[in-house]
Structures are given as structure tokens and as C-alpha cells.
Structure 1
């Protein structure tokens, strides 16, 4: 059965990037063996999906957002 999702947030609409928050006990199921479930979800939706546990702090989340936004800008500048 699929993993339970607590929340879905759009991180960057232009870059089609989203953050999915799952309960800690569902994290390994959501990611799948060697990331297979996460890759499949990204392929099916056409979005970059970042799967995070519920226990991640706000500061960790903000730092990760900044890093992803910077990488997205760098990729778009190369095109």
C-alpha cells in the first residue's frame, strides 16, 4: 500500500519542485528501496519531489529550500 502523506508543499512552481512530508514511520516506504518509489512518483508527476519526515525542523527545511532554489536557478541559467 502507498505511504501516508501528511502534507504536500509546492517549493518552486516554475521548477516544478514539491516537498512531501510523511510520518517518520512511513519515510522508508515513501522513498522505497534505493529510492525507487520516489523516482517513480517524480516520473509519473513530472515534478521533482523531496520526501521529508515530519520531525524535520523549520530551520533545516528553510536551508534545504534555499539550496534547492539556488540549484534550480543555476540550472535555468545554463539553458
Structure 2
């Protein structure tokens, strides 16, 4: 899986890359606005070659950021001060 197509180092998340992609796809499906074309995730994740429109690329990147955030929060121990 590409590292967000920007050569960012992968973060140590307690989630498999396939699960992260699945979560990001689900987030993207729940976002308001026009959904990404069906083949966009395959291109974004490097499973097939192609180009993406800027709006699609931004939408998928935001969904992936959300998935990383959820995964990082899920892997953190509970805050005992709360």
C-alpha cells in the first residue's frame, strides 16, 4: 500500500494496512459530497496505475487521515486521569 502517495513514513499503528484501507473506504463512503469513483481506491493504494483528479485525491487523503487517527486512538492506553 502506498504511504499516502507522498512518501510519508508509515506510522506504527496497531492495525494491518488492509484494515486501515477498509476503514478509510468506509469513512470516505460516509463523507458528504460526491463519492470517489469506484476505481479511485485501487489507484490511490497503488493496486493499479492511473491518475486521480485533485478533488478525488484530496477526498481519499482526508479519509485515510481519519482512518489513521482512529487507528492511533484505538491503540492508545486509556488516560487514567479521566
TM-score, normalised by the number of residues in structure 2: 0.38
TM-score, normalised by the number of residues in structure 1: 0.39
Higher relative contact order (CA 8 A, sep 6+): 2
